[in-house]
Structure 1
Amino acid sequence: MPTRDDAYALMTSHVKSESLQKHMLSVEAAMRAYARKYGEDEELWAMTGLLHDSDYEEYPDLKEHTQVAAQWLRDEGYDERIIYAILAHNDVNLESHPRADLLSKGLYACDEITGMITATVLVRPTKSIEGLEVSSVRKKMKSKGFAAGVNREDLVKGAEELGVDLNEHIAFVIQAMTRVAATLGLAGTATPETQQEAIN
């Protein structure tokens, strides 16, 4: 089984967009946290998150997206559970790959919510995820013009499929992403003084 370093190298060899790389690092962090919560294999779950969109930059067509990545991963000897979950997170593949297992449900649930959280952080004065409230994310979800690429239905459906309350899910993912905020570029650039000004 390839290592996390192998997975990161594979992902970055195909993904040059820094924002897409950070998206996959966000999903990796959320998946690792959920694996710990559920007593599952942390490395397996984290790697699934890290690799889930590895072919998207080169193959954005939904009929190809995940199919190409699945072949890459098979060629490199990745666990079939990872490949299945990645295929299952693309609704185009649901007939052949229904989200019937916890890993697949976890990936689907973590995918879109990380994008909404990131977008919400980036419009904060501090540009920091520290102290981000669930209510702020929910408020932005209601704004149709905000982060238009994030599918609101998928956000809600993801939490439902995983069997978690949406607010609790958002809070959990915020916490997971906060642990790697610097890597995600969400640690903020404001000084303590300007942060205080933003609060006031």
Structure 2
Amino acid sequence: MELGIDRQKAQQVLEENVKDPITRLHMLESEAIMKAVAKYLYENNKLTEAEKGGKTSSELAEEWGIIGLLHDIDWELTKNNVVEHGLKMPEILRNAGGTDFLIKTIESHIYPNDNEENYMGAPQFVGKKREGNLEHALASAETLTGLIIATALMMPDKKLASVKPESLVKKYKNKSFAAKCNRETIAECEKFGIELEEFLSVGLIALQEISDRIGL
């Protein structure tokens, strides 16, 4: 697994292509959860040796984090026509030195779920399916950020520190709350070896640890 882009370069690419502060925060949050998931899977022996790629837990976590940080790199170019989301990303990342592996992994988070009925993405992604722990993790992690942030904003002090795992579970089950956070996508965590409630907790802790950086 080679990305072709290190963390410093990823930050540069982010700053050049994403100006909206809310989108930047979402990408930072996605990085944090991806790093936490990588560490969890590595340290609980849920990754194959091929997935580890000879890397330490910290090294792998940084790579998964970079993927999370860059996953919406073309959003500002496509947000007014979401059917193009993911189509401008390859050129941006290739110009920055990104590998085909990085591009394919990021593209996968836009693929439809098993239920394609309400899919709004690019037609060329219809019929494609996410494969492997990393692709499922990216889709689940970036979707979970929205549920966690929405829950924090419901707290009296609007702080992540006030969110308890059991509160997050209740919000997850209430599908009218943060309805755009697709529960089916979040539940893909079980495809990469983390039970749902444990995944919600892992994600919550990850964002609580960067609360000062995201202002919550």
In structure 2, the gaps of 5 or more residues are 43-51, 53-59, 112-120
Asked if 1:83 corresponds to 2:83, the answer is: no
Q: Secondary structure at the match of 1:67?
A: coil
Cα offset, 1:117, TM superposition = 0.3
Q: Residue 29 of structure 1 contacts residue 46 of structure 1 at CA under 8 Å; is this kept in 2?
A: yes
Instruction: State how far apart, in whole Å, the 2-side matches of 1:59 and 1:124 are.
Output: 32
Query: For residue 206 of structure 2, what is the aligned residue in structure 1?
Result: 176
- Tell which deviates more after alignment, 19-28 or 33-42: 33-42
Query: For residue 56 of structure 2, what is the aligned residue in structure 1?
Result: none
Picking from 45, 62, 76, the partner of 1:43 is: 62
Cα offset, 1:16, TM superposition = 2.3
Picking from 106, 111, 122, the partner of 2:137 is: 106
Instruction: State how far apart, in whole Å, the 2-side matches of 1:160 and 1:19 are.
Output: 28
- Tell which deviates more after alignment, 122-131 or 47-56: 122-131
Q: How does 1:25-174 map to 2 (within 5 A)?
A: 25-39=28-42, 40=52, 41-60=60-79, 61-91=81-111, 92=121, 93=125, 95-96=127-128, 98-156=129-187, 158-174=188-204
Instruction: State how far apart, in whole Å, the 2-side matches of 1:147 and 1:19 are.
Output: 16
Cα offset, 1:30, TM superposition = 0.7
TM-score (structure 2 length as normaliser):
0.77
Give every structure 1 segment of 4 or more consecutive aligned residues whose post-TM-superposition deviation is greater than 3 Å.
142-145
State the percentage of identical aligned residues: 32
Write the letter of the residue equivalent to 1:170.
Answer: L
The superposition leaves residues 26-50 of structure 1 with CA deviations (integer Å, 9 ceiling, x where unpaired) of 1100111122223342222111000
Instruction: State how far apart, in whole Å, the 2-side matches of 1:4 and 1:94 are.
Output: 31
Instruction: State how far apart, in whole Å, the 2-side matches of 1:143 and 1:106 are.
Output: 22
Write the letter of the residue equivalent to 1:88.
Answer: S
Instruction: State how far apart, in whole Å, the 1-side matches of 2:174 and 2:39 are.
Output: 33
**Residues 70 and 161 of structure 1, relative CA distance in 2, 3 Å threshold:** farther
How many residues get paired?
184
The superposition leaves residues 100-137 of structure 1 with CA deviations (integer Å, 9 ceiling, x where unpaired) of 12211110110111110011001211222125212212
Q: Which has the higher contact order (CA 8 A, sep 6+)?
A: 2
Picking from 21, 24, 35, the partner of 1:21 is: 24
Q: Residue 36 of structure 1 contacts residue 42 of structure 1 at CA under 8 Å; is this kept in 2?
A: yes
**Residues 165 and 38 of structure 1, relative CA distance in 2, 3 Å threshold:** closer
Cα offset, 1:160, TM superposition = 2.8
Instruction: State how far apart, in whole Å, the 1-side matches of 2:186 and 2:37 are.
Output: 16
Query: For residue 196 of structure 1, what is the aligned residue in structure 2?
Result: none
Q: Secondary structure at the match of 1:58?
A: helix
